[in-house]
Structure 1
Amino acid sequence: MTPPSSTATSTHEESVRTRPRVEGEREREILEATLETLVELGYDKLSFDAVAGAAKASKATLYRRWPAKVDLVVDALELMLGVEADRFPDTGTLRGDLISQACAKGGLADDQPVKVFGSLMNAMHRDRELHDAIMTRLIAPKMASAVHIFRAAQQRGEVGPGADLDLLARLLPAISIHEAMLTGSHPSQDRLVTLVDSVVLPACAATVQRD
């Protein structure tokens, strides 16, 4: 099976097409510097000056590519998250797919996303533009990728035909991210496997009718 496409809004796509690119690897370096600075300073204190200094780039270069801070930050988040964790692993079992996705680069076992989103949580509650951009461009595509795994499991009979796939797909990230926010450390692969086996799979099994 092929994974669902993850597309942003047409307005965003048009904006990206019209923005001048940064040549070569410089764009990646700037976005990586943005992530590091975001963890260090938080969203509210993040500035083009700070990112330019960390990336050893000029502010003019940043402003030509990213008109506002939210554009820079969300592009950096897309770089961080648009990796193996969004791919459909297709191991043949729900357990295998969940573990493969959660433990891939950019997945729930990856330390950097937890730190970065921890630095954004308060700002997302206050800043509607930041919240909407992250939900539309990042969270929605990742949820679609997760739901695809549960839909495949449903077709194999591992999930009941009337199950709420959106709810099931939120269980693992909700619990693991909540624990990470409480403890300040990202979930280990062993912890994620435990959550899959003790929470997610039993919840899925409960949706299957037994004779």
Structure 2
Amino acid sequence: MSTTSATPSTEEPVRTRPRVEGEREREILEATLEALVEHGYDKLSFDAVATAAKASKATLYRRWPAKVDLVLDAMQLMLGVEADRHPDTGSLRGDLIAQACAKGGLSDDRPIKVFGSLMNSMQRDPELHDAIVTRLIAPKMAAAVRPFRAAQQRGEIGDDADLDTLARLLPAISIHEAMLTGSHPSQDRLVLLVDSVVLPACAATLHRA
């Protein structure tokens, strides 16, 4: 009776994907935001992020296969911040000022700089544009609309008002001015815009025939 000897396996051992999580992941994503502001999206490189974060470039590539994946995950750090919460002060004016002047709000330097570094690239790169709109801008706008919906229920805004348009007024003006001046709006400037632009626009919706 013949015996068959076992043949050693020539298959390579399965390599587990390196896990980057917790505080280390946050450090890398924070470094990505800083590099994004410094270099812009087009010139942002994995080399620059790896150097800033003191991480292996190979590890970054395994965790984030493309630059857009890394940038979008980094930008998620700007979601769920204090400025995205409804402060519920009891008035639209109070809510808008509280949101705009909170951490991560329109008076915060970082979000303005990050968006500024992406503007040109978003116009040329449909994949980047769609990803940012879906994963970042849409949740931000949903948070921005909440105070207007509450104000409408209190009778500060007309029943047929376009809340999405009203919610875009303050960020649109603030970001536009920041792009022109190179600096984020001050808290005093935001209060002035709320009082002179946003609230009058809301009040006008009450006088429709």
TM-score (norm 2): 0.89
Moved more, 20-29 or 162-171: 20-29
| CA deviation string 1:34-65 (max 9, x = no partner) | 01101111100101111001100001221121
Out of 75, 78, 96, the residue aligned to residue 76 of structure 2 is 78
Q: What residue number does 1:164 align with?
A: 162
- 3-state DSSP class of the match of 2:98? helix
Q: What residue number does 1:62 align with?
A: 60
Contact kept in structure 2, 1:81 and 1:113, CA below 8 Å: no
Contact kept in structure 2, 1:74 and 1:133, CA below 8 Å: yes
Aligned mates of 1:21, 1:72 — CA distance in 2:
14
| CA deviation string 1:171-206 (max 9, x = no partner) | 000001000000001001110000000000000001
Aligned structure 1 segments of 4 or more residues deviating by more than 4 angstroms: none
- Which consecutive residues of structure 2, in runs of 5 or more, have no partner in the other structure? 1-16
Letter paired with 2:148: F
| CA deviation string 1:43-92 (max 9, x = no partner) | 00101111001100001221121111001101111113431111111111
Out of 123, 126, 133, the residue aligned to residue 124 of structure 2 is 126
Aligned mates of 1:33, 1:210 — CA distance in 2:
50
Contact kept in structure 2, 1:44 and 1:123, CA below 8 Å: yes
Letter paired with 2:142: A
Aligned-residue offset at 1:120: 0.6
1:174-193, aligned counterparts within 5 Å?
A: 174-193=172-191
Contact kept in structure 2, 1:82 and 1:106, CA below 8 Å: no
Out of 50, 53, 75, the residue aligned to residue 51 of structure 2 is 53
- 3-state DSSP class of the match of 1:63? helix
Could you say if the C-alpha distance between residues 120 and 58 of structure 1 is closer, same or farther in structure 2, counting changes exceeding 3 Å? Answer: same
How large is the RMSD of aligned CA atoms in angstroms? 1.5
Bigger relative contact order (CA 8 A; separation at least 6) = 1
* Aligned length in residues: 193
Aligned mates of 2:208, 2:111 — CA distance in 1:
39
